[in-house]
Amino acid sequence: MSEKIQGNIAIPGIAIGKIMKVGQSLDGYMAAYNPGSAEEELSKLEEAIDTISAAIDESVEAMRAAGQDEQAEIMEAHSFLLMDPMLTDGMNDKTREMGHAPKAVLEAAQECAEMLAGMDDEYMRERSADVKDIGRRIARHLLGVKEPEIGEEPVVLCGFEVEPSAIANISDDKIAGVIMGQGSTTCHAVIIAKSRAITTVVGLENRVEDIPEGAKVLLDGNEGLVLVNPSADELAAYEAKIKAQQEEQKRLDALKDLPAETTDGVKVQLAANIGLPEDAEAAAKFGNQGVGLFRSEFLFMGRENIPDEELQFEAYKRAIVACKGETCVIRTMDIGGDKPLAYLNIPHEDNPFLGYRAIRISLERPDLFMPQLKGILRAGVYGKAAIMAPMVISVDEVKGIRAAMEKAMAELEAEGKEYSKDVELGIMVETPAAAVMTPVLAKYVDFFSIGTNDLVQYTLAVDRVNPQISKLYDHFNPAVLQLIYRTIKSGVENGKWVGMCGEMASDPYAAVILMAMGITELSMSAPSIPKVKEKIRSVSMDEAKAHLERVMAMETGAEIREYLHSKI
């Protein structure tokens, strides 16, 4: 039997390959290194910089030729940094001082990286990891660490952190997957892997050390699972899965440009949930129509101060442009005590999910809310933007948001900045209070988007990450369905559109009954879109309505689920 290690899903897929460790410690090589005279060390350094620089330029060219623009851009930044005298002078000066080129290189790169990390500029902060990557690459060359040899068999790169350059340097047919100890799914390595659809599992933490070099692994990116030395039976089981996956993929790819409509022609908009503006561009290959949830949190995280209007404007603009005229729904900051940010200044809370968070903070902090609203209103000029407020429980809050929006417009007017007057304002219906009050709230908003992840959690009082009670968490629970139906009816009766941006929207069976309830937009992670579309295209609205009637008369979530899975 194999050893199974559970990590987190980053990029789905199934991959089989041989482990190639990267980013490992250089300590052993350092101890064995015999430095020459200062002059010798300097000339070794020069040679190393030239070699690596040429290698980077060569791979950038190859990537451009292969149409891998995103990857090429990241590696081009490496080339730019390696030409920067601040880095190279630092390396030279330190080599002269220390008489030990590899040590000097790592130290100089570290200093530059720290300086960049402290800068008040998103672009430069992101370059911090790139500088360290370059430093290690030159140091490895100086230490004579062999660039791992890639044989016939495709490799699975494995390390606590995997350097972007390590992925970028292996061609598609030789790289099967990536395993990382660290848990971020937005780092450059993951972005590069995603642009090439390389199966990736992250968040293994120190367990990456238990995976031996050269071991055969099976990577189940759909489950975030790593099987080290899989048995013949496991391999056979997965071979079948891979084959089925490929066939399904072919079928789903064919749906990309077809409309999401029932057999009798009732349409629904299938939009994408995104976290980064570039996700909106990547979603296009799944045939999305706009963005139903842009989680603006990433703009607020990992930084020391409030992101300014300009930075937010640029990010929203990029996403809005990528929506090509379809709506881009931007959710205002949804952060609370669970992700403490220094500038939010939230004292410790025992229960941050019921605490000072999201719109509750935004409404009290114009210094935080105004730049966000103004950024969105300005970006609205470039397409169709909508503002969505999270965690709303009352009409008063909606009035407060509307007033803030008007103030933002007045300020933009006074500053003579161009902005859109047609940005819609809606709320995320994710508290039972909001769902119950939708008949009233509908008078004050332009749309509702049902956030089922929290709505299920708050309605059923079930923490979905608590494994002991996770079986109680069910979006088909009749109590949840009643609230959803009520919300949709309230919207329809008041002429406001209703969408859904929680995980339930990606359940093809749920999609059918939601359409029967009158929902007109479903937003989900882009790869889920084709499956939902396929199901919708297989039923008529009459059938869907009949199913809905049966389902609403049922008494348990299990009964509903079983019915839908057997009848649709």
Secondary structure, 3-state, 10-56: EECCEEEEEEEECCCCCHHHHHHCCCCCHHHHHHHHHHHHHHHHHHH
Any residues with CB less than 8 A from the CB of 386 and at least 6 apart, and which? 327, 328, 329, 330, 423, 424, 425, 426, 446, 447
| Min CB(219)–other proteins separation in Å | 36
From the CB of 121, what's the least distance to other proteins, in Å? 5
Q: E strands, 14-81, where?
A: 14-21
Element (H, E) at 561: helix 557-567
Closest approach of Cβ 567 to other proteins, in Å?
55
DSSP characters for 269-297? EEEEEESSHHHHHHGGGGT--SEEEEETH
Question: Is 93 a binder of other proteins (CB under 8 A)?
Answer: no
Neighbours of 531 (CB within 10 A): 19
**Is residue 117 within the footprint of other proteins (CB under 8 A)?**
no
Of 121 and 247, the one with the shorter C-beta distance to other proteins is 121
The reply to whether 86 sits near other proteins by the rule CB under 8 A is: yes
Residues constituting the chain: 568
For residue 87, state whether it binds other proteins (rule: CB under 8 A).
Answer: yes
CB of 275 to other proteins, least distance (A): 22
Question: CB of residue 375 vs other proteins: minimum separation in angstroms?
Answer: 13
Q: Write down the least CB distance from residue 30 to other proteins, Å.
A: 26
Catalytic residue check, 501? yes
- Cα separation, 517 vs 538, in Å, equals 17
CA proximity to 480, closest of 550, 557, 535: 557
Rounded-to-integer distance, Cα 74 and Cα 422, Å: 36
Segment near other proteins (CB under 8 A), from 82-90, 101-109, 174-182, 401-409?
82-90
Binding residues among 273-312 for other proteins as defined by CB under 8 A:
310
Pairwise CA distance, residues 506 & 498, whole Å = 16
80 contributes a contact to other proteins by CB under 8 A: yes
409 part of the interface to other proteins, by CB under 8 A: no
Q: Closest CB to other proteins among 418 and 542?
A: 418
Which tokens sit at 485?
A: 């139906």
CB of 311 to other proteins, least distance (A): 8
Q: Between the CA of residue 533 and those of 329, 497, 498, what are the distances in Å? A: 21, 20, 18
354 is a contact residue toward other proteins (CB under 8 A): no
Orientation angle between helical segments 38-65 and 69-82, nearest 10 degrees: 160
Distance of CA 107 to the CA centre of its chain: 32
Q: For other proteins, how many residues bind (rule: CB under 8 A)?
A: 15
Q: Does 554 bind other proteins (CB under 8 A)?
A: no
Which one, 126 or 424, has the nearer CB to other proteins?
A: 126
Q: In this structure, what token pair is assigned to residue 537?
A: 């295209």
* Region near other proteins per CB under 8 A, out of 85-93, 174-182, 375-383, 450-458: 85-93
Cβ-based nearer residue to other proteins, 115 or 395: 115
Q: Residue 86 or 242: which CB sits closer to other proteins? A: 86
Nearest Cα neighbor of 426 from 523, 351, 549 is: 523
Among the candidate windows 121-129, 148-156, 345-353, 357-365, which touches other proteins by CB under 8 A? 121-129
Residue 388 three-state SS: strand
From candidates 4, 40, 61, 119, binder to other proteins by CB under 8 A: 119
Residue in this structure with the two tokens 């009158």, named with its chain if needed: 518
Is 188 catalytic? The answer is yes
The catalytically annotated residue of 188, 328, 475, 547 is: 188
Look-up of token digits 């081009």: 76
**For residues 112 and 510, which CB has a smaller minimum distance to other proteins in the complex?**
112
- Tell me, rounded to whole angstroms, the distance of Cα 34 from its chain centroid: 45
Name the residues annotated as catalytic: 188, 501
Task: Give contact residues for other proteins (rule: CB under 8 A).
Answer: 80-81, 84-87, 112, 115-116, 119-121, 123-124, 310
